[in-house]
Amino acid sequence: MVRPRSQPVLWVYPNKVKIPFTVLLVYMLAISAWAQTPAIPRFEDYPVTDVFKGKPIPPQVVTPLEHRYRTRIREGVEKGWGVFRDGKEQDTPGPNFAGRYIIVRWGCGVPCVMVAIVDASTGVVYPPPLCSGHCGTETFALPFLLPGDVLIPSVAEIDFRLNSRLMIMQASPLLPAWRSGVSTMRASRNTRVVYR
């Protein structure tokens, strides 16, 4: 028998089946949504076993970009200027991230902030894990943060600890997309892994 196109298909369930079926459907959707939500790593999950205690090695200024900002980088490593720990600028030299890295910050206009990461035990200079432009070759500038539909950018938020290898950055690295997100970076001896 062919059903005419004008008649809709009706699903009829007895009342005893409607409520358990609806509860089961909502439960399955909730579990699916929960399983797809990635958890942001915690600082405690990436502990540091040892902290560099000696005098930091002077930064190895090698590239033209590093040479351009050599004074800011050297003052951060040697004097603690622009080096923050627990929200306060340090007045003495020493690491502030992952037990041996020195994160040096300096302003470059509103709302621009630049960051260089220096290994206190070797003096090697690294760019931040996310930056606006070509990281390490053209800029040390952090990407802007564009929360929601706001068209006025602000400075990217960056969070790290001396006793953890985890760095969490909230930024909008893809400006044309006008999206904000949280990225995290885990530092280890020879690698830096950026999570998205």
- Residue 86 confidence (pLDDT): 81
Residue 101 DSSP SS3: strand
H/E element, 67: helix 64-68
Percentage of the chain lying above the pLDDT 90 cut: 36
On whether the CB atoms of residues 121 and 60 are closer than 8 A, the answer is no
Domain boundary assignment for the chain: 43-195
pLDDT, average across residues 133-162:
74
The token duo for 60 is 């190895």
pLDDT at 95 over 60: yes
Buried b (16+ CB within 10 A) or exposed e, 55-72: ebeebebeeebbeebeeb
Q: Is 183 in contact with 195 (CB distance < 8 Å)?
A: yes
First-to-last C-alpha distance (Å) of the chain: 55
Query: What are the pLDDT digits (tens) for 59-80?
Result: 999 999 999 999 999 999 999 9
The pLDDT assigned to 143 comes to 75
Q: Which residues of 167-195 are buried (b: 16+ CB within 10 A; e: fewer)?
A: bbbbbbbeeeeeebeebbbbbeeeebeee
